[in-house]
Amino acid sequence: MASGLLGDAPIAALPGTAGARSGARRPGLRRLLGLLVPLGLLALWQVLASSGAISGRLLPTPGAVLRSMDTLFLGTRPRTLAGVVPYAGAGLDHLSASVVRCGVAWLLAVAAGSAVGLLLGLSPLFRDLLDPVLNALRAVPLFAWLPLVLIWFGIGEGAARALIFLGALWPVLVATADATARVPRAYVETARMLGSPRRQLWRAVYLPSALPEVLTGLRLSLTLAWTCVIVAELNGFTLGLGAMMNAARETGRTEQVIVGIFIFAAVGLAADLVLRLLTRRWVRWADR
C-alpha cells in the first residue's frame, strides 16, 4: 500500500535532519551580542585594577591573573615540604585531585540515589516507609552536615567524599523517585499487553520513560557535587583546587584565588556539557 494513498504527512522532519531539532540557531551577529557584556566587564575590571582605584591586594589586574594561571599550569614546580600546598606547576595535580575526588563521590551518589529513587518510585510500600525520613533529612542544610561528617570521618579524604556524596545524593534521588512514579500507566499496560513480564518492566518502560527527568537530576547533582568540592577541600588537603584557593587566601595571593574561580567555572561548565553530550541520544525523544 503506497503511503500516498493514506494522505500521510509527517509532523516533523525525520531525525537526523535539521528541522527535527527544536530551537533554530540564532544568526551569527546576534550570538556575538552575548560577548559584549563579558568583554565590557573585563574592560571595567582592567580599568578599576590598573587605575589604583582598588588596591591590587583586593583586585589584581586581568594580566596578573593570566600570568598566575600560566605559572600554575606551566611553571616549574619547586621542591616543597610535606604539608605545604604547591602552586607553581601544580595546576594539573590540583585539578585532577579535585576532579577524581568529586567524580568518585558523585558516581557513588548517582548509584545510590537512582537505586533508592527507583525503589521509591516503583513501590508504594517503600514510599510510605521512607518518605517522611527522607523529607526530614533533605531539610537539613547541606553544610550543617559538615561538622558531623568531620567527626565521623576525620579531616581528610573520607570526610570530603562524604560531603560531596551528600550534596549530590538528593537531586538524583528525588528526580528518579518523582520521574518513576509519574511514568504513565498506559505505557506499563501496553508493555504488559505486548508480552513483557513484570520483572522486565523497570528496564523496558520505567527507566527509559523516566530518563529525561533523571538526567536533569544528574546534571543538577553534578553541579552541586562540584560546589561541595571547594568546601570539602578547605581543611586538611595539600592537593585540590579548594586547598589551593584556601592557601592562596591565607598568603594574600588574590590573583591565585581568582584563578581558582575561573578553573572552577570552566570545569563545571565542561562537565555539564560532556554529561549532556554523552546522554543526548537517550533523551532526544523528549526534546522540546
Interface ranges with other proteins (CB under 8 A): 1-3, 5-16, 20, 186-187, 189-197, 200, 204-205, 208-209, 211, 282, 284-286
- Nearest-approach distance from CB 42 to other proteins, in angstroms: 43
- Nearest-approach distance from CB 195 to other proteins, in angstroms: 4
**What is the spatial distance between Cα 215 and Cα 171, in angstroms, rounded to a whole number?**
10
**Which 3-state string (H, E, C) describes the chain?**
CCHHHHCCCCCCCCCCCHHHCCCCCCCHHHHHHHHHHHHHHHHHHHHHHHCCCCCCCCCCCHHHHHHHHHHHHHCCCCCCCCCCCCCCCCHHHHHHHHHHHHHHHHHHHHHHHHHHHHHHHHCHHHHHHHHHHHHHHHCCCHHHHHHHHHHHHCCCHHHHHHHHHHHHHHHHHHHHHHHHHCCCHHHHHHHHHHCCCHHHHHHHHHHHHHHHHHHHHHHHHHHHHHHHHHHHCCCCCCCCHHHHHHHHHHCCCHHHHHHHHHHHHHHHHHHHHHHHHHHHHHHHHHCC
- Nearest-approach distance from CB 284 to other proteins, in angstroms: 8
- Nearest-approach distance from CB 272 to other proteins, in angstroms: 23
- Nearest-approach distance from CB 210 to other proteins, in angstroms: 10
**Contact, 181 vs 121, CB < 8 A?**
yes
Nearer to other proteins, 13 or 107 (CB): 13
Nearer to other proteins, 126 or 202 (CB): 202
Nearer to other proteins, 4 or 141 (CB): 4
The amino acid at 157:
E
Nearer to other proteins, 31 or 284 (CB): 284
Nearer to other proteins, 13 or 44 (CB): 13
Nearer to other proteins, 85 or 207 (CB): 207
- Nearest-approach distance from CB 180 to other proteins, in angstroms: 15
Nearer to other proteins, 31 or 182 (CB): 182
- Nearest-approach distance from CB 20 to other proteins, in angstroms: 7
**What is the spatial distance between Cα 284 and Cα 276, in angstroms, rounded to a whole number?**
11
